[in-house]
């Protein structure tokens, strides 16, 4: 019998502290109206000093486990997507495994910047489809606020902190229909964050901070996401009209609107969370999916397209029958 990966639970966590555009505009030369018009963002959540990617991942993961009505010990594989791991090693996934008190499962991190959740989902789907795992926990958790140069108005307006999680299980009915992931390392200079621990004399001044040529990234994102929509539909022999929901990476409403236009979808069919969350990198798609599921917009049996684009460049999509 053919095996599929089915979503059986979702979860999410956003830190309590909210930083508004107004607050940012007191420190850099910008304004609420500029930020909102150009990005769609009004505020973002900022992790408290004692919070980490692992602590946020744990809260989101426990929610997904509760929603799935399983025991944590049933999980075979944990994949955490993060660009802000607590430690160089052990991986955030291993730290999460410890917190969830799971003795016997495999845990590892993946790093694909803002596309991390889609990459993790794609890997999870392969493990389930080929029979190597049944229950897989996928988490995206990010403390972007600690990578942001708060004096750089080109980036500090964009990012926020949070964690999203989903639990997948093997099933004999359709769930994940297909995943598509891509990378092109040619574009390193447009969006990068040097690791301060291994900085060289040459890059030590910019180490630890997000560095982005925003407008160039913007154009690449719009074009690339347009192409991945075509690729995903063609792989499934589907028409645009068959997609019920678009759950995009939350980088900029203008990028999201361009993808929706390409799909001839109204914005009412798009889960948009960035107004109050900003760009939470690898957490964003999972947080948006969790929101759409929990508020009842996304219903069982509906077709949902997830997509993301990020540093690398990396990009990808997942088509799901929820």
114 near ligand UT7, rule: CB under 6 A: yes
The nearest distance, CB 154 to ligand UT7, in angstroms, is: 5
Comparing CB distances to ligand UT7, the nearer of 4 and 218 is 218
Alpha carbons within 13 A on the beta-carbon side of 256: 30
Binding of residue 289 to ligand UT7 (CB under 6 A): no
Q: How many binding residues for ligand UT7 (CB under 6 A)?
A: 20
What residue is closest to ligand UT7 based on CB? 214
Q: Is 249 a catalytic site residue?
A: yes
Among 9, 12, 175, 310, binds ligand UT7 (CB under 6 A): 310
> In sequence order, what are the residues at sequence separation of 6 or more whose Cβ sits closer than 8 angstroms to the Cβ of residue 49?
none
Nearer to ligand UT7, 108 or 187 (CB): 187
Residue 251 per-residue DSSP state: S
Report whether 4 contacts 172 (CB < 8 A): yes
Binding mask 162-181 for ligand UT7 (x = CB under 6 A): --------------------
**Cβ atoms 166, 57 nearer than 8 A:** no
**For residues 248 and 292, which CB has a smaller minimum distance to ligand UT7 in the complex?**
248
Residue 4 DSSP SS3: strand
CB of 134 to ligand UT7, least distance (A): 32
Among 3, 99, 129, 153, binds ligand UT7 (CB under 6 A): 153
Residue 55, classified by CB atoms within 10 Å of its CB into exposed (0-12), middle (13-18) or buried (19+), is buried
Q: How far is the CB of 81 from ligand UT7 (least distance, A)?
A: 13
276 is catalytic: no
Per-residue DSSP letters for 162-187?
Answer: EEEEEEEEEESS--EEEEEEEE-GGG
**Separation CA 242–CA 231 (nearest Å):** 15
Mark the segment that binds ligand UT7 (CB under 6 A) among 11-19, 64-72, 215-223, 229-237. 215-223
195 assigned to active site: no
Q: In what order do the strands lie in the sheet with 176-183?
A: 176-183, 314-321, 303-310, 245-248
218 interacts with ligand UT7 by CB under 6 A: yes
Decide if residue 119 touches ligand UT7 (CB under 6 A): no
Closest to 45 (Cα-Cα) out of 84, 12, 18, 13: 18
Helix (H, G, I), strand (E, B) or coil at 79: strand
Tell me if 84 contacts ligand UT7 by CB under 6 A. Answer: no
Q: Which residue has the tokens 């809260």?
A: 59
217 touches ligand UT7 (CB under 6 A): yes
By CB under 6 A, tell whether 221 contacts ligand UT7.
yes
**Which of 209, 79, 191, 91 shows the shortest CA–CA distance to 136?**
79
CA 5/CA 225 separation, integer angstroms: 24
Of the pair 9, 310, the CB lying nearest ligand UT7 is at 310
Interacting residue with ligand UT7 among 53, 211, 252, 282 (CB under 6 A): 252
Question: Rounded to 5 degrees, what angle do the CA atoms 256, 257, 263 make?
Answer: 95
User: Which positions from 31 to 50 touch ligand UT7 by CB under 6 A, shown as an x/- string?
Assistant: ---xx--xx-----------
- Catalytic-labelled residue, pool 211, 249, 252, 290: 249
Of 45, 94, 105, 114, the active-site residue reads 114
- Please name which of 136, 81, 146, 127 lies closest in space to residue 311, comparing C-alpha atoms: 81
Residues acting as catalytic residues: 114, 249, 279
Interface with ligand UT7 (CB under 6 A) = 30, 34-35, 38-39, 114, 153-154, 157, 214-215, 217-218, 221, 251-252, 255, 279, 309-310
């Amino acid at each position: 019998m053919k095996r599929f990966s089915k979503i059986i639970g979702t979860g999410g966590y956003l830190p309590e502290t909210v930083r508004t555009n107004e607050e940012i505009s007191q420190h850099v030369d910008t304004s609420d109206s500029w930020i909102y018009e150009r990005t769609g963002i009004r505020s973002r959540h900022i992790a408290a000093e004692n919070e980490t990617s692992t602590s946020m991942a744990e809260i989101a993961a426990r929610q997904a486990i509760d929603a799935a009505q399983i025991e944590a010990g049933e999980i075979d594989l944990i994949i955490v997507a993060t660009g802000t791991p607590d430690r160089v090693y052990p991986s955030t996934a291993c730290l999460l495994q410890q917190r969830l008190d799971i003795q016997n499962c495999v845990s590892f991190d993946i790093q694909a910047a803002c596309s991390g959740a889609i990459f993790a989902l794609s890997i999870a789907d392969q493990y389930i489809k080929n029979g190597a795992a049944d229950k897989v926990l996928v988490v995206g958790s990010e403390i972007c606020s600690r990578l942001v140069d708060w004096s750089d108005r080109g980036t500090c307006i964009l990012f926020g902190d949070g964690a999203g999680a989903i639990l997948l299980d093997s099933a004999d009915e359709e769930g994940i229909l297909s995943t598509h992931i891509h990378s092109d390392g040619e574009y390193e200079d447009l969006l990068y964050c040097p690791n301060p621990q291994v900085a060289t004399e040459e890059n030590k001044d910019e180490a630890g901070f997000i560095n982005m040529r925003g407008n160039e990234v913007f154009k690449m994102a719009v074009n690339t996401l347009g192409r991945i929509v075509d690729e995903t539909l063609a792989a499934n022999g589907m028409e645009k009209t068959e997609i019920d929901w678009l759950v995009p990476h939350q980088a900029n409403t203008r990028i999201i609107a361009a993808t929706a236009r390409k799909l001839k979808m109204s914005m009412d069919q798009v889960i948009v969370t960035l107004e109050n969350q900003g760009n939470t990198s690898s957490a964003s798609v999972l947080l948006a999916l969790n929101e759409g599921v929990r508020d009842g917009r996304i219903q069982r049996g509906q077709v949902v397209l997830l997509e993301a684009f990020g540093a690398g460049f990396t990009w990808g999509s997942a088509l799901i029958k929820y």
